[in-house]
Amino acid sequence: MTDKNQKPFGVKVELPANDPFRFPHLLGDEWAGTRWYATAEERDIAMAAIIKQPGNYRRGDKPSILVTPVDAA
């Protein structure tokens, strides 16, 4: 059984189309990741943590990622 069958609520993280980290010598066009959770509430808490301003960033800087909720069903 795969994670998404056991945990049907996911968070997909990917780079925006114009992000310099998409260059082939860095992360590339295909870089993305999905994390799976057992409940929608767990997923929503994780999304909030991913989107939250990281403590080690300068004020006003924002991570250059796209965060999308995913349902396996």
Q: Write out the DSSP string of 39-53.
A: SHHHHHHHHHHHHSP
Question: Which residues form the domain of 41?
Answer: 3-54+62-71
pLDDT at residue 6, as a whole number: 85
- Give the strand order in the sheet containing 66-71: 32-37, 9-14, 66-71
Structural domain count, the chain: 1
What pLDDT sits at residue 3? 59
Structure tokens at 60: 């006003």
Alpha-carbon distance of 55 to 15, in angstroms, equals 20
pLDDT tens digits, residue range 12-52? 999 999 999 999 999 999 999 999 999 999 999 999 998 88
For the chain, give percent helix, strand, coil, nearest 5: 25, 25, 50
> Are the CB atoms for 36 and 72 separated by under 8 Å?
yes
